[in-house]
Chains A and B, each alone.
Chain A
Amino acid sequence: GAVVSQHPSRVICKSGTSVKIECRSLDFQATTMFWYRQFPKQSLMLMATSNEGSKATYEQGVEKDKFLINHASLTLSTLTVTSAHPEDSSFYICSARVLAYTQYFGPGTRLTVL
């Protein structure tokens, strides 16, 4: 099946620093990837849609200057949390669309900002 990886799986950083999270499709090419955020005991919230070779589309209320998304190749999308603060601590999950309407998810990245 379609495999999506994320790196790192867990990161702890100091407030004010930037953190980059990578999302890779390992055995397929993904023109579209998605980034989600999940707070404890809550469902997934879509942050943005990442399209290869073009700018990401952000959901309402998501700061595009804070959450920078780059989709430079058909197998890699990156999410950079800039000037991270404690309220950015969360579980970030990416997904890649394989077929129309079907998304496969990465294992997630736990971000803790001190």
Chain B
Amino acid sequence: AQSVTQLGSHVSVSEGALVLLRCNYSSSVPPYLFWYVQYPNQGLQLLLKYTSAATLVKGINGFEAEFKKSETSFHLTKPSAHMSDAAEYFCAVSDPGNKLVFGAGTILRVKS
């Protein structure tokens, strides 16, 4: 069965600093991986997705993620954090039935 582990339920960075949110997955088949962002009391917005093309995936708002099969990881990064990046981020893997399995989420705090 597919599963996702997000290391760190809370991450705090200073404005302008590198953002790194960690995601490791477990999948019995080649995975489709996603990062979503959720602002308070809102739905989820798709940041980026990996669907077996390029291993380095660029998304919206300056975010990118690299698929590393050997490490079963799909970490999300952004070179320079903005205050507007403060939100909760979810990593997800698609199972063979096209259902999304979500990680527990990581709350990103950006300090001024």
Contact = CB atoms under 8 A, between A and B. Distances in A.
Interface of A: 4, 6, 32, 34, 42-44, 46, 49, 91, 93, 95, 97, 100-108, 110
Contacts of A91: 41
Lowest 6 CB-CB distances: which A-B pairs, in order?
A105-B43, A105-B44, A101-B32, A101-B94, A107-B43, A108-B43
Contacts, number: 50
B46 A102 contact: yes
Interface of B: 32, 34, 36, 41-46, 49, 51, 90, 94, 98-100, 102-105
A103 B100 contact: yes
B46 A104 contact: yes
A42 B36 CA distance: 14
A44 B102 contact: yes
Contact of A43 (B43, B94, B99, B102): B102
A43 B104 contact: yes
